Amino acid sequence: MPSQSLPEVIEQQRKEIEGLRQQLLQSQKMGSIGELASSMTHEFNNILTTIINYSKLGLRQKDEQARDKAFDRILNASQRAAKITTGLLAYSRSSESRRDPHNLSKLVRDVIILVEKDLKVHRIHLDTQYLAEPYANVNAGQVQQVLLNLIVNARQAMVAGRTLTIKVSESVDDQCAEISIRDQGSGISPEVLPRIFERFYTTKTADDHGQGGTGLGLSLCREVMEAHGGRIRVETAVGHGTQFSLRFPTVAPPDFSLKSASKQESSESPTGSPSVAAASLS
């Protein structure tokens, strides 16, 4: 076989590196799910218990009103399970490079469905503030991976009884949207702060299940934000907590009415430079 030219070798190596990067992202994604596995299993057990008990109650009831109430409880529990399953499948799906306009507040809500039971198990209060419904051109799975990583990190940094605050806001003048995740943990020391986005740098150790401590989470968060033309910023105060802020360039919301009209016409047709800043609060 003829030897490859230098440009061909470089292109081949670039593709191999990109393939390894995608595998790394997927591995990190599965690791995040591992962090939530115990609490999600507990949640599904509660849902199944509700369905079984109210099914038995509905079968025994002669009164139509009481029977309807039991069936309503079964329906609500089933819908809750469906939401969790849908969110989990969407998150776990292999990442693609495609980006579309997405409502950032909705992406946050979808992630919260996955983590709220875990927060309750660890007795962490959740304060969500949706000050806007901004749209950004993003890969939904990758952004949700960043959010899940930051939320799990925030939960791990806090003791029971503390509050995790998640806020979505928009600056119309700057044409930017921001998602902030603020914890009431111990904060990040000035010695560690400059290195937190370095790949493989970590101050955590893996738990009994081998989760955590890889030093990949925050570096992947930075890579995803840079790829989206956004920024990730951290503000921290030792003894008071840490806030991570994600900034995205906003886009106009998609015009769903035009899409619907286009589909109708088709059916009637006969042919048918980003940067990362780390700042310490005084």
Residue bearing tokens 């106009």: 252
Structural contact between residues 238 and 187, judged by C-beta atoms closer than 8 angstroms: yes
Question: Does the pLDDT at position 107 exceed 90?
Answer: yes
- What is the pLDDT averaged over residues 48-65? 83
pLDDT tens column, 216-271: 678 888 988 998 999 999 999 999 999 999 999 999 998 866 555 555 555 554 44
CA-to-CA distance for 217 and 232, rounded, in angstroms? 13
Q: Per-residue confidence at 117, pLDDT binned at 50, 70, 90?
A: confident
Q: Per-residue confidence at 141, pLDDT binned at 50, 70, 90?
A: confident
Domains of the chain from N-terminus onward: 6-88 (no CATH), 99-254+273-280 (3.30.565.10)
Buried residues in 91-114 as b, exposed as e (16+ CB within 10 A): beeebeeeeeebbbbebbebbbbb
142 vs 270: which has the higher pLDDT: 142
pLDDT tens column, 189-226: 999 898 888 876 676 655 444 455 556 678 888 988 99
pLDDT value of position 279: 41
Share of the chain above pLDDT 90, in %: 34
CA-to-CA distance for 111 and 255, rounded, in angstroms? 25
Phi, psi of 158 (to 5 degrees): -115, 155
Q: Per-residue confidence at 1, pLDDT binned at 50, 70, 90?
A: very low
Residue 144, both tokens: 């949700």
Question: Does the pLDDT at position 280 exceed 60?
Answer: no
pLDDT value of position 272: 46
Phi, psi of 179 (to 5 degrees): -115, 125
Element (H, E) at 204: none
DSSP state of 247: E
Q: Looking at 17-21, 61-65, 150-154, which range is the least confident one?
A: 17-21
pLDDT tens column, 4-36: 787 878 888 877 776 766 666 666 666 666 666
pLDDT value of position 210: 47
For the chain, give the mean pLDDT. Answer: 80
191 vs 62: which has the higher pLDDT: 191
